[in-house]
Structure 1
């Protein structure tokens, strides 16, 4: 396949480039918000993996984070649809729940987390991801293109994940908002590549994460302390992450393979 990767210089984008070995890869030179630059990059492209984004509400002014992310996603997907691309993958985020960057203390209605969990957004980054997923659904209806949105947790290479694990060991409360979840960048990139060829349709939204947490304490003990009173719909033995990963296995054939740091 000829695959366009946006955000190729970023943490996830660079991992995606490595995972696409065997495919013809193109990268976007220029701004993902620029239709002309995107149109040029899409020449004879079969699929798109869109990772370009400002990755936190804290890296720029709120209006810049929101506008940059949503405009880039709209332009990339609209130009891809007009170019006849039939498959695209968009990097969404667990932050769409609203919890990781919330100023208040929103409470989850139930666990494990799934795509039916109501969003409680308070920040521009999470809002941009909500709009990105709505844009993906609109582009499917507009162009007939399948667009998979993958909701990623904290991503990192082994060193970054090890540092995160050490920090959470000292302060477990710091990981409560994202349920102490994580994913090795190599697994995240592999999930993106699988989403290019999996038998998908429409604009599916899929949580992708490691099956365990970054903690050594049992998940149910952590939840009892940091999410008291939240009902669990399924048992979470050992260090099982409190996210429903069954759709990732069923729709993508994806299970994380890289070892816990």
Structure 2
């Protein structure tokens, strides 16, 4: 790393993922500009700004604080799950803030944009009906079947990132995360998964340790890359205590699980992330992991 610390702009820096990302970035020697709608403290940051990222003046102040030659923008600011606002507000809040931040990053010619999307973009997690994947494991080319506005907001964000690359030629990497957690948050979710084989089917029983989410985001900022890419990032196993073929049979009768999926193997294909980010090792929750 150069003697002049590269600058990262991190939105959602007060969040459950954004906070750990910001602290890890500082530990790695980056100059960090943190922004969030919620007041927060980030010792060591070059600047912290609090405000609504749907407001262009707030977004401009974030980039003004960062100065020229921003190494990467890490956009994590978003409504973390549906139900906090009505459908219209959920869509508008997520899409508007994404366009303000990602579009401004493109206009200002940053080196890289990394945006955190969600596995919800595919459409299973928050649907008002039961949906069955076309195939397993689900890769980034699986058709979008979203019928909820939260998932739709993530689809729009991914398209905003792709648009920004086309318009300003800024490389963009968008990461689809499933449930993310560690510690008590993860233990609570694991207890839910143990209720029955079908519990968690809408999420395809997927999960990601917070530490691995941090690694994926920072690697996305650092790896050599030109283009616009969407990547699945998910642990290589499920959160269910039952074998993968048993839970799939319980929730999706007749849906095949390929032989390459292990006994407790995860159901999101992460091959592209392994190839681009070198992300092949993940934290696990099972005994011995």
From 48, 53, 59, the counterpart of 1:38: 59
Large movers: runs of 4+ above 4 Å:
none
Q: Which of the numbers 245, 263, 266 marks the counterpart of 1:241?
A: 266
Deviation at 1:55, TM superposition (A): 1.5
Cα deviation, residue 186, structure 1: 1.2
Query: Is the aligned partner of 1:143 residue 2:168?
Result: yes
Contact conserved, 1:210 with 1:255, CA < 8 A, in 2? no
Gaps of 5+ in 2: 1-5, 36-48
TM-score with structure 1 setting the length: 0.96
Instruction: Report the Cα distance in structure 1 between the residues aligned to 2:136 and 2:108, rounded to whole angstroms.
Output: 41
Provide, for residues 231-254 of structure 1, a one-character-per-residue CA deviation record: whole Å limited to 9, x for no partner: 334432211101111111101111
Deviations 1:21-47 (A, max 9, x none): 211111122121122221221223321
Structure 2 residue 31 is the aligned partner of structure 1 residue 24: yes
Alignment partners' CA distance in 1, 2:11 and 2:123: 25
- Listed as ranges, the matches of 1:103-252 within 5 Å are 103-252=128-277
Match of 1:6 in 2: 11
Which deviations, in whole Å up to 9, do the C-alpha atoms of 1:25-80 show, x marking residues without a partner? Answer: 11122121122221221223321000000122211111111000001110101111
Give unmatched runs, 5+ long, in structure 1.
Answer: none
Structure 2: distance between partners of 1:226 and 1:19: 38
Question: Secondary structure in 1 aligned to 2:174?
Answer: strand
Count the aligned residue pairs: 261
Aligned 8 A contact 2:91 2:152 in 1: yes
For residues 271 and 135 of structure 2, the distance between their equivalents in structure 1, rounded to whole angstroms, comes to: 17
Higher RCO, 1 or 2 (CA under 8 Å, sep at least 6)? 1
Check whether the contact 1:86–1:144 (CA below 8 A) recurs between aligned residues.
Answer: no
Compared with structure 1, are the counterparts of its residues 73 and 234 closer, same or farther at alpha carbon in structure 2 (3 Å cutoff)?
A: farther
Q: State the Cα deviation string for residues 112-153 of structure 1 (Å, max 9, x = none).
A: 000111111111110000000111000001111011000000
What's the C-alpha RMSD, in Å, of the aligned pairs?
1.3
Instruction: Give yes or no for contact 2:193–2:200 (8 Å, CA) kept in 1.
Output: yes
Find out whether 1:75 has 2:100 as its counterpart: yes
